[in-house]
Amino acid sequence: MMGSNDKPQDELFYAFNLDEIVPQDHLLRDIDRVLDLSNLREHLAPFYSHTGRPSIDPELMIRMLLIGYCCGIRSERQLCYEVTMNLAYRWFCKLKITDKVPDHSTFSKNRHGRFRDSEVFRFVFEQVLKRCMEEGLIGAEGFAVDASVVRADASKQKHQEDDDDWGGGSRAINEYLDSIAADGAPATPPKKVSQTDPMARWTAVLGGPAYYAYSTNYLVDTDNGIIVDVEATPALRTPEVWSTKTMIERVQDRFGIEVKRLIGDTAYGTAEFLGWMVNEAGIEPHVPVWDRGNEMAGRFGRSNFMYDEQTDSYTCPSGKELRRFWRNFNKPRTGVTKANEIKYRSRKQDCDACPMKEQCCPSTDYRKITRSVHEPARDVARAIRKTPAYRRTRRQRKQVEMLFAHMKRILKVDRLRLRGMSGAQDEFLLTATAQNLRRMAKVLGTGPPGIRKMAVA
C-alpha cells in the first residue's frame, strides 16, 4: 500500500538534539575542533561600553562570517537566511533551534565600527595561525609569495572627473581623501579614479578589459600550504612586491617565523627587492631575475659581457674593456644614477674597428652596459636558479596559485563586497582565515573526504 505523509506538523513539543543531527564528519565540526575564539571577548572588551543594552554576541557574528567565507556565501542577507534554515550552521554558531539569527544590517554596523577599530579579523586570523603552528603545520623555512587581483565593488563606468569635488563623501571616499592628506598625491596619478571606491586601482590583467581592483598578497608556507600572512594593496606591481617585506617582518615580530627561503615569480626579481632579500633580510631568493639586459633578440646581451670585480669593469666578447669613466674628474663621481644603476661604456675607437659591431651596438658609437648596485644580489639569485633545489621550489610556487584559484572559484571571492582599502583588507583576512581553517580541517579532520567535500559543495 502506498504510504502518505500528510500528517499535521503542529506538535508543540519535540525531543530534539541539534548536536546529534550534525554528522560527526561534517566540515564545520572539523573546523569547530580547531577554532579557538576563547580570547575574542577579552580582545574586544575595550571597544564595548560597560552600560546599556547587551549587544549581539561578537563570537556569534564572527562564526557566522566564517561560515560565509568557508562556504562561499557572499551575501550577508543570504548568510542570515542560511544560518536560520541550516541546522549545521546553527550548530556551528552555537544557536539553539529557537534562537533568533541577527539581522544582516548588524554585520554592516559592526564590520565598519568596532570590528575594524579592534582589528578583530587580524586577531582571528592570527589565532588560527597559532593553532596551525601548534599542530606543526608550519614548516621550518620555505615560503612562497604571490599576488592576485580581485575586482572592487565599483562600476567600470563611473569615474571621478574633478578631483576637488567629492561631494558628500562615503566611508570609502573619506578613506581615500585621508590617505592623500597623509601621504600626498601619488607621483604617477592613476588613469582613472572610481567615483564610488577611489582607493581601487584601474587595472587590466593579461591584456583583458580594465576594471577597478585591489590585490591580495599571500605569504604561504610551502610544506602544508598554510597562509602565514595576507596584505591588501592597490593592484600595482610595486606595492604588491614591497608588501612582502611588511608580511615577512610581521610574521617574524609576532610569531618568530623566520623566512629563510622565498619563492616568487619574476615580479619579485627586481634589483631593489633582491637587494633587500639578500643583503638586509638574509633570505635565499628562489626568484627569476628581472633582467632587461638579455632582452635584445639576435644581439649581445649583458650575459655576453664579463664583469671583473677587481678592476670594476666589463670585458666585451671582442676582449675590450667597458669602464664607468674613461677620464679622471676633479670632483670624484660615483656614476650611480637615480635608479641605482651604474653605466659602463666601451671606447668609440674600439667599437669602430670591431667586426662584431653589428651584433653589439649597430646604431650607437659605443656599447653601454647597465649594472645595478644590487647586482651581487642578482648574481645570488642567478646562481640559485642553476641548482636542483630551484626546480623543486618552482613547483612549490604553484601552491599559492592554487590558493588563489580556490579563493575565486570555490569561496567565490572574485569580487569584493566591501569598499576602501580597509574593506579589502577585512575581506582578504577573512578569506585567508577560512582557507587556513579548511586546510586544517582537511589535514587534521576525522571524516571521510567525500562526505566533507559534499558538506561544503
Q: Is the CB of 357 or the CB of 385 nearer to ligand SF4?
A: 357
**369 is a contact residue toward ligand SF4 (CB under 6 A):** no
Q: Under the criterion CB under 6 A, does residue 360 sit at the interface with ligand SF4? A: yes
Q: What is the closest distance, in whole angstroms, from the C-beta atom of residue 310 to ligand SF4 in the complex?
A: 20
Q: Do 147 and 233 touch, CB atoms closer than 8 A? A: yes
CA 17 to chain centre: 42
Q: Which is nearer to ligand SF4, 185 or 297 (CB)?
A: 297
Cell of 252: 617574524
Binding residue for ligand SF4, selected from 320, 343, 398, 408, defined by CB under 6 A: 320
Residue closer to ligand SF4 (CB basis): 345 or 397 = 345
CB 215 within 8 A of CB 395: no
Residue from 351, 400, 407, 430 touching ligand SF4 (CB under 6 A): that is 351
Please identify, among the stretches 42-50, 343-351, 408-416, 422-430, the one whose residues bind ligand SF4 according to the rule CB under 6 A. 343-351
Smaller CB distance to ligand SF4: residue 259 or 361?
Answer: 361
The reply on whether position 346 binds ligand SF4 by CB under 6 A is yes
Task: Tell me how far the alpha carbon of residue 423 is from its chain's centroid.
Answer: 14
The span of 217-225, 283-291, 351-359, 416-424 binding ligand SF4 (CB under 6 A) equals 351-359
| Minimum distance, C-beta of residue 311 to ligand SF4, in the bound complex (Å) | 16
| β-bridge mates for residue 234, sequence order | 214
Q: Output the nine-digit C-alpha cell for 98.
A: 529557537
Nearest CA to 447 among 29, 20, 18, 17? Answer: 29
The nearest distance, CB 298 to ligand SF4, in angstroms, is 14
Confirm if 370 and 341 have CB atoms less than 8 A apart. Answer: yes
Q: Least distance from C-beta 358 to ligand SF4, angstroms?
A: 9
Report whether 452 contacts 445 (CB < 8 A). yes
Q: Which range touches ligand SF4 (CB under 6 A), out of 11-19, 138-146, 317-325, 385-393?
A: 317-325
Quick one: which segment of 124-132, 172-180, 189-197, 360-368 binds ligand SF4 (CB under 6 A)? 360-368
Separation CA 335–CA 266 (nearest Å): 27
Among 18, 356, 384, 410, the residue binding ligand SF4 under the rule CB under 6 A is: 356
Site membership for ligand SF4, residue 316 (CB under 6 A): yes
Q: Is 302 in the site for ligand SF4 (CB under 6 A)?
A: no
C-beta closer to ligand SF4: residue 367 or 419: 367
Residue (320 or 412) nearer to ligand SF4, CB: 320
Name the phi and psi angles at 256, rounded to 5: 65, 20
Q: Which stretch binds ligand SF4 (CB under 6 A): 85-93, 359-367, 371-379, 439-447?
A: 359-367
Compare residues 200 and 354 and give the one whose CB is closer to ligand SF4. 354
- Residue carrying the nine cell digits 667597458: 322
Residues touching ligand SF4, count (CB under 6 A): 13
Q: Binding to ligand SF4 by residue 361, rule CB under 6 A?
A: yes
Q: In this chain, which of 26, 111, 286, 367 binds ligand SF4, going by CB under 6 A?
A: 367
In this complex, which beta carbon is closest to ligand SF4, that of residue 261 or of residue 367? 367
Question: Binding of ligand SF4 at residue 350 (CB under 6 A)?
Answer: yes
| Identity of residue 121 | F
**Window 225-254: residues binding ligand SF4 (CB under 6 A):** none
CB of 367 to ligand SF4, least distance (A): 4
Site residues (CB under 6 A) for ligand SF4? 316-318, 320, 346, 350-351, 354, 356-357, 360-361, 367
